[in-house]
Structure 1
Amino acid sequence: MAPDEALACALRQWMEIQSADTAEERGYQWKCLFLPAGSRLRMQYAGQWFYAEVRGDELLFEGQPVSPRGMTQMIAGDGRNAWRDLWVRLPGEKNWSRALLLRRDLLQREPPRPVSPLEAVNAAARSMSEALTASKALLDYVNRQSERLTERRISKHRRKDDTLGDDCRFD
Structure 2
Amino acid sequence: MNAATMNSIPPAAYQALQDYLRRSRSPLSPAEAIDRAIRQWITHDSSAVAPIRGFQWKRLFLPETTRLRMHYDGDTHYAKVVGEEIIFRGRAVSPRQLTIAIAGDGRNAWRDLWILLPGERNWACAARLREQLDGQAVAPQSPAQAMTAAAKAMSESLNAALVLIEHVDHQTKTLVERRAPKHRREYDLLEDIH
Common topology (TM > 0.5) = yes
The alignment partner of 2:135 has SS state of: helix
How far 1:8 moved relative to its partner?
4.9
Structure 1 SS opposite 2:50: helix
Q: Which has the larger radius of gyration?
A: 1
Selected match of 1:102 from 126, 129, 132? 129
Q: 1:13 aligns with which of 21, 37, 41?
A: 41
- Identify the residue that residue 94 of structure 2 maps to in structure 1: 67
Supply the AA of the counterpart residue of 1:39. Answer: T
**Which residue matches 2:174?**
none
Q: SS at the partner of 2:62?
A: strand
CA RMSD of aligned residues (A): 2.7
The percentage of counterpart residues that share the same residue type is: 46
Match of 1:38 in 2: 65
After superposition, what is the alpha-carbon deviation per residue over 1:72-125, rounded to whole angstroms, capped at 9, x for unaligned? 11111211110011000111211111000001001111258xxxxxxxxxxxxx
Q: Name the SS for the 1:84 alignment partner.
A: helix
Higher relative contact order (CA 8 A, sep 6+): 1
Query: How far apart, CA to CA, are the structure 1 residues paired with 2:130 and 2:72?
Result: 22
Counterpart-to-counterpart distance in 1, 2:95 and 2:54: 13
The one-letter code matched in structure 1 to 2:112 is D
Where does residue 113 of structure 2 map in the other structure?
86
Displaced runs of 4 or more, over 4 A: none
Output the TM-score relative to the length of structure 2.
0.52
Q: Which amino acid aligns with 2:77?
A: F
Whole-Å separation in 1 of the counterparts to 2:63 and 2:85: 10
- In the alignment, what sits opposite 2:50? 22
Number of matched pairs: 116
SS of structure 2 residue aligned to 1:52: strand
